[in-house]
A and B are shown apart, each in its own frame.
Chain A
Amino acid sequence: MDTSTLPKAAELACRAARNQRWQPDAPLPLHSEIFAPATQGAGAGAALAFARDALCGGNGRVDTNAAASLEERSVLWVQDARAINLGGRPYRAGLPETIRHRLIHVAAETPEDALFAMEEGLRCRDLAAVVGEVMGNPRALDFTASRRLTLTAEKHGVPLLLVRLDAEADLSSARMRWRLTAAPSAPPRWNIAAPGRPSWRAELFRARSHPPGEWILRDEPERLAAERFSATTTPDHGDLVRGPGARSLAAL
């Protein structure tokens, strides 16, 4: 066995200590939650962008075999009735081209039905991803239900992106939780008076393997671009903090 390719212990320790910051090409966890206002298409748009990024394996570095097999698989989009009422249904002509022809839409009456549909979708080996849209904080979507979704997703390896419209961030077992709103888009090249490609202000407020932070996400044609959000009010000290183990007691 060739040991030179393996990471050195020092590197591993260093990486663990640094507590790596989230990058757009970081692996997508199998259960993420996105909190977004119901009056914007930001949540669903970002969910599809995340899913596309994860399916393509990051910055266009695509294993052709895997891509071909993923190309055939469908994407399941589950909405409950209140989400459809307030936010509308997916519109085929506006969907990203890679998933336009393989979207299956489920219009569930109640949040319970939506949860059932999501779980059935996660169990299916022929689906590339499941996108859920649930309005508010329904009683059915408690910590137990959320944990159930996480376990199913991790058992079968199908990523779930749950968009919570107008919801409070209650207890959940999602591996990554985002709070998203729309951000002014970059002006397009030919008509600067027109709206450009979508961009969102995204706050990662809970994640297992990354420290929280804020980004401006931009939906580029091929990939998801992110730049650190430089708010004037709260300077971000993420890079300075060395993680919990590295802090001296005096700093606490």
Chain B
Amino acid sequence: MAIWCADLALDRWRHSEGCQRGEGADAAPLVLITETAHGPRIDAANRAASAHGAARGMMLADARTLCPAIQTRPSDPAGDLAFLERLAVWAQRWGPWSAMDAPDGLLVDVTAVAHLFGGERRLLADVEKRCTARGLTVRTAVAPTAGAAWALAHFGPSSAILAPDDDMTARLADLPVAALRLDNDVLLVLKRLGLKRLGDLVGIEEGRERSNRQDNHGRDSIQRRFRNRKSPAANPLVRMDQLLGRVPEPLLPVVPVTAPMVQRRLLEPIRHRPLLDKVVEDLAEDMARTLEAKGQGARRLQLGLWRVDGEVILRELELAAATRSPEHICRLFAERLDDVDAGFGIEMLRLRAAWSQPLALDQSDLEAAAEQHGTSLAACIDRLTTRLGPKAVQRPVPRASHIPERAQGWQPPLEPEPALQGELAFHTRPLKLLDRPERISVLYAAPEGYPRRFSWRGQVCEVARVEGPERIAPEWWREKGTARLRDYYRVEDEEGRRYWIYRNGLATDGRGGMPDWYLQGLFA
């Protein structure tokens, strides 16, 4: 069974405005637009706008010349898709599985289901009644194959039913070739070849023009014409075979995923911390059982606390690796519950695993033996991030840049390192880098020569040994044109203190006056 929501975007807009079709805000001409590179383009037009000549795919400026009073709203394709996904899940009331047919259709498998609703006709009537009650304009069709149902829903009579013992080619012969779900350029080619109806295509295929010679000459020539088109949407023969059920057409069913959730309604509102901890512990154990049954571990957990006065307190937790250990979850939540204001009491708690990952069952004995030695790395990082925040626990990773402070990035510790071309280790880099380079005053023999002496934070360093300069040019694709190059020097003073200093620019580069000196890194 195919369901086509002919007017999905506008139906959703009407629902959000709370008006009926043709009433209120919908009475005036209105279009939904998308901003494109060449200006706003119309995605959908309501009936009043269509009467004035606005149509889908038109530029807004063209529509304005036809109807100056036209109103515009931004369209929401992502929201439409999400709505369609929910609708597909809801449509499983009519069949065991359903698939999305983006952007505005659904396919429901109703094999051996229709008798439950009293036959196909009453099934379709039920679909239309329920969809209309939700404010959706739909066209429906039932056919033995998904392609045929789609073609009938879009181009056939309303509520068309194609029974398995009907002559499929005869019933579908009058539909236009657009019913084959082909790309626009292929449709254009077919139109230029003079193939406008499905019947024309079927006729060529079967070689009906030369019915005296039973050969497949017609099919061969179309096959040659489209021999490089492998995808079904670009090859009319594949689509035709799918429509007639000669080759299978795989569909991707929509499977609803519910986040594991456990909750406790309490007989008596709780106001004290020990009781709260106890309930959270129970919840964590319930959650562990729920997750274990699914073979999953939680990555993100949400704890909602419903107070007697209707307030909801939410606490969220993100874990470095999938886990379902109740002790670990309790310990992490215990830190987050310190600032909870219970008010007159908490009457319901709900724990939800908003993000979970597969986690196989493991042998508990070995784990318990290892547990006595200490925590695992993931548990340790969870504890640190819960108390110190996710920004505090990080791992340095290399980045593609020559500027020293940009050549290092930070990322969460357990994520894999990004692939990067290895740097040649020509140059020695300091062990520690200051967050921002500190200005130093330098005594030098020549403006572009070695530094002799510098003072930093009130201490004077006599340079005893120096290596350099290592010249690093500014990144012109990131910075302004006035950015100056840097000449880095490794210096060691008489006491052995080793620093990384640079001169920002040259005296003669014409991008400012005499260059400043900065100290950026400390060597070991």
Contacts and interface: CB of A to CB of B under 8 A. Distances in A.
Contacts of B394: 104-105, 107
B431 interface: yes
Nearest to B458: A39
Contacts of B497: 39-40, 182
Contact of B417 (A42, A101, A184): A101
B498 A127 contact: no
A202 to B, nearest CB: 12
Grouping DSSP codes into helix (H, G, I), strand (E, B) and loop, the A interface class, with mixed when no group exceeds half, is mixed
A185 B496 contact: yes
- Interface range, A side: 35 or more
Interface in A173-193: 181-185, 187, 191, 193
Contact of B433 (A88, A156, A194): A88
Contacts of B388: 106-109, 113, 117
Contacts of A45: 431, 523-524
A195 B490 contact: yes
Interface residues of B, number: 55
Interface in B376-398: 376-377, 379-381, 383-384, 387-388, 391-398
A109 B392 CA distance: 9
B493 to A, nearest CB: 9
A121 interface: yes
B370 A125 contact: yes
A126 interface: yes
B495 A104 contact: no
Interface stretch (B60-68, B236-244, B464-472, B503-511): B464-472
Interface stretch (B27-35, B133-141, B422-430, B474-482): B422-430
Residue of B391, B433, B466, B521 with most partner-chain A CB within 10 A: B433
Interface in B415-447: 417, 423, 428-435
B465 A88 contact: no
Nearest to A94: B429
Contact of A194 (B404, B434, B466): B466
Contacts, number: 174
A105 B464 contact: no
Nearest to A122: B374
Contacts of A228: none
Contacts of B396: 90-92, 103, 105
B387 A113 contact: yes
B231 interface: no
A156 B394 CA distance: 23
Nearest to A83: B432
A28 interface: no
B457 interface: yes
Contacts of B370: 125
Contacts of A106: 384, 388, 392-393
Contacts of A34: none
A103 B396 CA distance: 7
Contacts of A187: 465
Interface string B355-374: 00000000000000010011
Interface of A: 39-42, 44-46, 48-49, 74, 84-85, 87-95, 101, 103-109, 113, 116-117, 120-121, 123-127, 156, 158, 181-185, 187, 191, 193-195, 198-201, 219
Question: Which 9 A-B pairs have CB atoms at the shortest separation, nearest pair first?
Answer: A45-B524, A41-B522, A194-B467, A126-B377, A195-B492, A125-B374, A124-B380, A94-B429, A182-B496
Given A84-B435, A193-B465, 20 more contacts: A40-B497, A40-B522, A45-B431, A46-B524, A74-B413, A88-B435, A88-B521, A89-B432, A91-B431, A107-B394, A113-B387, A113-B392, A124-B377, A125-B373, A156-B373, A158-B374, A183-B495, A187-B465, A193-B467, A219-B524
21 contacts: A39-B497, A41-B522, A45-B431, A45-B524, A48-B431, A88-B434, A90-B431, A91-B429, A91-B430, A91-B432, A94-B428, A95-B431, A103-B396, A107-B391, A108-B388, A120-B383, A124-B380, A126-B377, A156-B374, A185-B465, A195-B498
